Amino acid sequence: MRQIVLDTETTGLDPTRGHRIIEVACIELVNRRLTGRHLHKYIHPEREIDEGAQAVHGITLEFLADKPKFAAIADEFLDFINGAQLIIHNAPFDLGFLNAELGRLDRVPVETVCNGVIDTLKEAKALHPGKRNSLDALCERYEIDNSGRTLHGALLDTELLAEVYLAMTRGQNALMIEPDEAPRILLGADGKIRERKPLTVRCASAEELVEHERVLAAIDKESKGACVWLPKPAAETAS
């Protein structure tokens, strides 16, 4: 399955009042693994940036002065998400802005190009009702390092969201978690590929195995043979 984790930064909160996208980032998952493929664009919004929005993401109009307009990256964006399932935190917000941009160009809405949308905020609220479910709160809950997130940034946020999504949905595919056979590919905040080494698997020592068997034997004796962790002899077949 191909999935795209997506995030945007904007000039304000409401696309119906003319606010625009200034950054879009997408990273690719295939069969729940990061592939290293990504799309990241800064975009000139053709308007001013609200002070409140700039305080959140730190992106200035001066920085965007030489960046392309959305029309120049629309085809590349649509090609990248084509046929994939989108994973977005608070999906109505990002989709509202993306569809407003595409509507200005007489292009089809995002939902007609992608293969469905997962809203991780909605999923998190269902899993953790009554608790904070911001991206920072979910990183804390699932023990994901977000220490580099001093400001909002679409590329960093997509990487964090990918890890949150995988942690939040890990039990949906299988009861057993398979160990990684190769280093996982991740994107750094600068967009460069970095690797995360597989988890180290420590096997029990001979002494620990002996102690484990002793404890199981004690449990079996106390429970009069009902210890579920010990193999039971096969029932004898009547001759």
List residues with catalytic annotation. 152
Q: Is 38 helix (H, G, I), strand (E, B) or coil?
A: strand
Total Cβ atoms within 10 A of residue 37: 16
Q: Which helix (H) or strand (E) holds 195?
A: strand 193-196
Ramachandran area for residue 75 (φ above 0: left; ψ -120 to 50: alpha; else beta): alpha
Cβ neighbours of residue 31 under 8 Å, at least 6 residues apart?
1
Q: Quick check: 128 and 168 in contact, CB under 8 A?
A: no
Distance from first CA to last CA of the chain, Å, rounded? 53
